[in-house]
């Protein structure tokens, strides 16, 4: 794996973390909280966004309006079964309405722990990509494809990229913590 491939993986880890953070409930409604929830409908499993229009008419409400009312109960069940979301959907026969409660102090602390765990997962992904790139550099050095000076320069550039990615991950985690703890 070359440096460019590793950097793409680093960026992928950061994008994944940003996406995961956008799904976390912090007292404000966001369509991304439910878009990826998988629903069993029409003899297959698919994301809600393939079955319905998802809107946020106000900062505390998510409104899910399926294109076929026959899947209302399936959507409601799928959201309720997603235990990590902690949402209580209400099916009124036309739409599924989710009111986002203000998280308690305990729930906020739990969300901060989850945020830092997701950040650590991203860092692990970065370390894994770094290890693969390091192995490639060592193999090239051993096979005399590159000189020792080139290998050292590549290692230094790789480590700088890793440090930059880890700093970005830490910044995202701290920003998310602040966002979660703000009442």
Domains plus CATH for the chain? 3-21+104-181 (1.10.132.20), 28-99 (3.30.1360.40)
d(CA 149, CA 98): 59
Q: What is the pTM of this model?
A: 0.71
Whole-number pLDDT of residue 131: 94
With a cut of 70, list the residues of the chain below it in pLDDT.
25, 83-85, 183
Whole-number pLDDT of residue 97: 93
Asked whether 159 and 8 are in contact (CB, 8 A), the reply is no
Whole-number pLDDT of residue 43: 87
* Mean pLDDT of all residues belonging to the chain: 88
Whole-number pLDDT of residue 103: 78
d(CA 34, CA 87): 10
Question: 């693969």: which residue's tokens?
Answer: 132
Asked whether 13 and 125 are in contact (CB, 8 A), the reply is yes
Residue range 92-113, pLDDT digits in tens: 989 999 988 777 888 888 889 9
């Amino acid at each position: 794996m070359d440096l460019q491939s590793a950097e793409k993986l680093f960026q992928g880890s950061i994008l994944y973390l940003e996406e995961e953070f956008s799904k976390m409930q912090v007292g404000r409604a966001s369509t991304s909280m439910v878009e990826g929830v998988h629903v069993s409908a029409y003899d297959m499993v698919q994301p809600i966004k393939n079955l319905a229009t998802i809107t946020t008419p106000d900062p505390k409400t998510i409104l899910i309006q399926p294109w076929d009312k026959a899947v209302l109960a399936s959507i409601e069940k799928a959201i309720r079964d997603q235990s990590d979301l902690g949402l209580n959907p209400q099916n009124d026969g036309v739409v599924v309405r989710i009111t986002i409660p203000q998280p308690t102090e305990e729930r906020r602390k739990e969300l901060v722990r989850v945020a830092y765990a997701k950040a650590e997962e991203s860092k692990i992904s970065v370390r894994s990509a770094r290890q693969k790139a390091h192995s490639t550099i060592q193999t090239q050095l051993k096979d005399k494809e590159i000189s020792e000076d080139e290998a050292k320069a590549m290692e230094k550039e790789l480590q700088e990229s890793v440090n930059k990615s880890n700093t970005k991950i830490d910044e995202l985690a701290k920003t998310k913590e602040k966002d979660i703890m703000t009442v």
